[in-house]
Amino acid sequence: MKSSTFDFDKKIYVEDTATIVGPREKAGPVGKYFDKDFKDDSLGQPSYEKAEIKMHISLLKYLLNKTKHNEKDVDLCISGDLLDEIMGTSLTMREFNIPFMGTYNACATFAECLITASMFLTTGKFNRIICSTSSHFSTAERQYRFPLELGNQRTPLSQWTVTGAGATMLNNIGGKVRISSCTVGRVVDYGVKDANDMGACMAPAAADTLRRHFEEKGVSPSYYDLILTGDLGDAGSRLLKRLMIEKGVELGDNYNDCGVLIFNRMAQDVGQGGSGAACSSTVFNGYVYKKMLAGEFKRVLLVPTGALCSKTSILQGESIPGIAHAVSFEVE
């Protein structure tokens, strides 16, 4: 396969970011880096789906306000979530007079949005694009696994879907942090069928994309101050390190995972850590971006990871392939 790693010679900047999270995320190790949070994860809505929509709408309004922009200043929103037919995003975008494209690569969706937006901005036909993703523990549980009321025991390898939403406003005008390159992922299937072991479903795809990124860009892991997968979780991250060694690459102390960062795994009883389409978008847009503005990280490689499944595919005995896209950021 020819190279699927691309440098962005025309500069793509992060104009600003915004994040909103639920109480468990706010109480986690990087809680102070999120812009907004709420105590009641129903947000006063009659369903958790409506809560997720309200949260995503609130986030985009906040981002527009923060950046002192009107809707007409934004050329496009490229967004997605984990709900069937990405309904959260579609009903969010109903509230905005902004052109919209829906994306879905499970929890890798945020990376797909960033790459797509960066390519669009590179053409010069667009100047400002918002990329956003949301997820909600309660909507994901009942859609992918079991109703909350059932009170099922959680398996040791399960993860906790992040309740939150993260948005990045990109432009080709100016900013302190820019997107420097990307590697587009492909579907990788190691035959894992356990819907409660998302880490193992996704780690092979992350390994594939990471190896290709280093090889095609001609850098080693130490080129980056931080390499961050999306939501492999604790066991999944350790699995990734082993897979990378098999590929001849050693991930060192500069490697971490958004799902591991966002929760205190033992204190917060979240299994292997956070997951969900908003896991990478909240951790990056909150914690990582602020650290980059402060100069603590100069080069970051973000690799959101997705497990490609639906309740139907699982019930029909399909395995759960993964996909991962890589996006590198550098301080300007």
Sole binder of a copy of itself in the list 4, 58, 264, 268 (CB under 8 A):
4
Separation of alpha carbons 23 and 302, rounded Å: 25
Q: Which of 238, 256, 259, 251 is nearest to 210 (CA)?
A: 251
* Tokens 């929890």 sit on residue: 107
Q: Are 129 and 170 in contact (CB under 8 A)?
A: yes
Position 149 contacts a copy of itself (CB under 8 A): no
User: Coil, strand or helix: which one is 125?
Assistant: coil
Position 216 contacts a copy of itself (CB under 8 A): no
Binding range to a copy of itself, per CB under 8 A, among 55-63, 77-85, 170-178, 292-300: 77-85
Position 105 contacts a copy of itself (CB under 8 A): yes
241 CB-contact burial (10 Å; exposed 0-12 / middle 13-18 / buried 19+)? middle
Distance of CA 278 to the CA centre of its chain: 5
Sole binder of a copy of itself in the list 43, 309, 326, 327 (CB under 8 A):
309
Sole binder of a copy of itself in the list 215, 225, 318, 330 (CB under 8 A):
318
Q: Which two tokens stand for residue 137?
A: 């523990």
Position 193 contacts a copy of itself (CB under 8 A): no
Q: How far is the CB of 206 from a copy of itself (least distance, A)?
A: 15
User: Coil, strand or helix: which one is 58?
Assistant: helix
Torsion angle, alpha carbons of 287, 288, 294, 297, to 10? 140
Contacts to a copy of itself from residues 223-262, by CB under 8 A = none
205 or 244: CB nearest a copy of itself: 205
Distance of CA 271 to the CA centre of its chain: 19
Sole binder of a copy of itself in the list 36, 66, 176, 186 (CB under 8 A):
186
Q: How far is the CB of 274 from a copy of itself (least distance, A)?
A: 19
Enumerate binding residues for a copy of itself (CB under 8 A).
Answer: 1-2, 4, 6, 46-47, 49-50, 71-72, 75-76, 80, 82-87, 90-91, 93-94, 96-106, 112, 115-116, 119-120, 122-123, 125, 143, 184-187, 189, 308-313, 316, 318, 321, 323
